[in-house]
Amino acid sequence: MNILQPIHPSSFSEFHLRHHDTHQHHSVTALSHVTSQKLNNNNRARKRKADEDADTGMLISPTNSPLAFSPISIVRPQKKIKASNTSGHSLSINRLLETLDASSLRTVLQTICERHPDVSSEVVSLAPRPSVQAAVEVLSGYQEKLRAAFPYGGNSGSDYAFNRVKQYLTNLINAVTEFTPHYLPPSEEQTAISLSYLDFATKIIHELPEWDSISNQHYKENAYDEITRAWVLVISEASKRGGGFQIHAGGWDQILTKHNEQSRGRMEVAIRALGSNIGWIGMGSEYGSTRNQLLNGVPRSALAPVIVRQY
Q: In the chain, what are the domains? A: 118-243 (1.20.58.1590)
At 250 the pLDDT is 86
Which position has the higher pLDDT, 77 or 16? 77
At 242 the pLDDT is 75
Mean pLDDT of 184-189: 94
d(CA 241, CA 272): 19
At 167 the pLDDT is 98
Count of beta carbons in the 10 Å neighbourhood of residue 231? 26
Nearest to 311 by CA among 271, 283, 284: 271
Nearest to 66 by CA among 55, 52, 53, 75: 55
pLDDT at 64 over 60: no
> Residue 153: in which H helix or E strand, if any?
none
Average pLDDT, the chain: 78
d(CA 259, CA 310): 19
Which position has the higher pLDDT, 36 or 278? 278
Mean pLDDT of 204-231: 97
Mean pLDDT of 152-167: 93
d(CA 183, CA 130): 10
Per-residue pLDDT of 236-274, as tens digits, reads 999 888 767 888 888 999 999 999 999 999 999 999 999
Amino acid identity, position 205: I
Mean pLDDT of 112-129: 92
pLDDT at 67 over 60: no
Count of residues for the chain? 311
At 300 the pLDDT is 45
At 68 the pLDDT is 52
* Euclidean distance between the first and the last CA atom of the chain, given in angstroms as a whole number: 198
**Helix-then-strand count for the chain, H and E:** 12, 0
At 142 the pLDDT is 98
DSSP reduced 3-state for 273: helix
Task: State the burial class of residue 236 (Cβ atoms within 10 Å of its Cβ: 0-12, 13-18, 19+).
Answer: middle
Which positions ≥6 away from 179 have C-beta within 8 Å?
A: 135, 138, 139, 197, 201
Which position has the higher pLDDT, 148 or 240? 148
**Helix 159-179 crosses helix 132-149 at what angle (to 10 degrees)?**
170
At 47 the pLDDT is 61
At 30 the pLDDT is 52
d(CA 295, CA 26): 149
Mean pLDDT of 150-159: 91
pLDDT at 85 over 50: yes
pLDDT at 303 over 50: no
Per-residue pLDDT of 161-178, as tens digits, reads 999 999 999 999 999 999
Count of beta carbons in the 10 Å neighbourhood of residue 25? 10
Which position has the higher pLDDT, 54 or 245? 245
Task: State the burial class of residue 270 (Cβ atoms within 10 Å of its Cβ: 0-12, 13-18, 19+).
Answer: buried
What single-letter DSSP state applies at residue 3? -
pLDDT at 112 over 70: yes
At 308 the pLDDT is 37
- Residue 255 near residue 247, CB atoms below 8 Å: no
Mean pLDDT of 190-209: 97
Within 61-116, where are the H helices? 93-98, 102-115
